[in-house]
Amino acid sequence: MIVVTGATGQLGRLVVEDLLTRVPAEQIVAAVRTPAKAADLAERGVQVREADYDRPETLKSAFEGADKILLISGSEIGRRIPQHQAVIDAAKNAGVSLLAYTSVLHADTSTLPVAPEHKVTEEAIKASGLTYSLLRNGWYNENYIPTAEQGVATGTIIGSAHGGRVAAASRADYAAAAAVVLTGDGHDNTVYELSGDAAWTMEDLAADITAATGTKVVYQDLPAEEHAKALAGAGLPEPVVEMLVSIDAGAADGQLADTTGDLARLAGRPTTPVRTTIAAATGN
């Protein structure tokens, strides 16, 4: 039995959808905080069980009979370490044969602001003695849909990436890789650095938005301080501003540029170009 946590989230749903093409529905458990949100999955034969990272008692029943578990990282930065530890403990008690975890690219060395909690979680998984597969996801194409929408509205996108490259891929690509790990063999105690097939600059992104939407969009590169001021001036909260500027700094340092090929090899297909994702999201 395969358990997917966070199965009603953006990535989790895609993992379940991919699994449904590989194994019978009754072999899949959608472990979710609010079971009612997974009613459509239940109608298709997927087992739906309550699983709240903040309520460890729910995890025991959610993982009953599990063979493999996919721990999709929590969304609450600052709370993820205790949440993930609760899942690790429950997975160990359930005696699973594999715990897969959605981490971040080069979690052990990255200076991106999202990396520290992933690094600690990876260390906790290894310390647990569980057989694991660390799925170090790079950036998602979908992260740039709001950027594209802004560009179409104003003709300009801004940033402080300074020519840094991003090897992004679609959520569906990452979901396919996770589904392969959960249903295949040879993934014991593995670490996969997952990223898109091609790395692009923000100038390239502006050109892709232009091509996808038919609206001319250009990229304006700013010093980090000016980038932060512009984002704050647009009404974004300070933590979000700090996150976005830090991500661009990471891109400038080359931390999002790796094209390892792991994702395409696992998914069994080329990764999705960001232009394709933007075109689909904008109805073009």
Query: Which domains are present in the chain?
Result: 2-137 (3.40.50.720), 142-166+197-257+272-281 (3.90.25.10)
How does pLDDT run across 121-179, given as a tens digit for each residue?
A: 999 999 999 999 999 999 999 999 999 999 999 999 999 999 999 999 999 999 999 99
Instruction: Find all residues with CB under 8 Å of 128, minimum gap 6, and list them.
Output: 88, 89, 91, 92, 99
pLDDT of residue 90: 97
Q: Which amino acid is at 94?
A: A
52 pLDDT tier (thresholds 50, 70, 90): very high
pLDDT of residue 158: 93
Looking at the DSSP bridge assignments, the partners of residue 2 are: 28, 68
The answer on pLDDT for 283 being more than 90 is no
The CA angle 61-39-133, to the nearest 5 degrees, is: 50
120/124 Cα distance (integer angstroms): 6
78 pLDDT tier (thresholds 50, 70, 90): confident
b/e burial code for range 108-119 (CB count within 10 A of at least 16 → b) = eebebbbbbbbb
The answer on pLDDT for 77 being more than 80 is no
Average pLDDT over residues 231-242: 88
257/139 Cα distance (integer angstroms): 10
Average pLDDT over residues 255-284: 94
Q: Say which residue, 114 or 190, is predicted with more confidence.
A: 190
Other Cβ atoms within 10 Å of 7 Cβ, number: 28
88/69 Cα distance (integer angstroms): 10
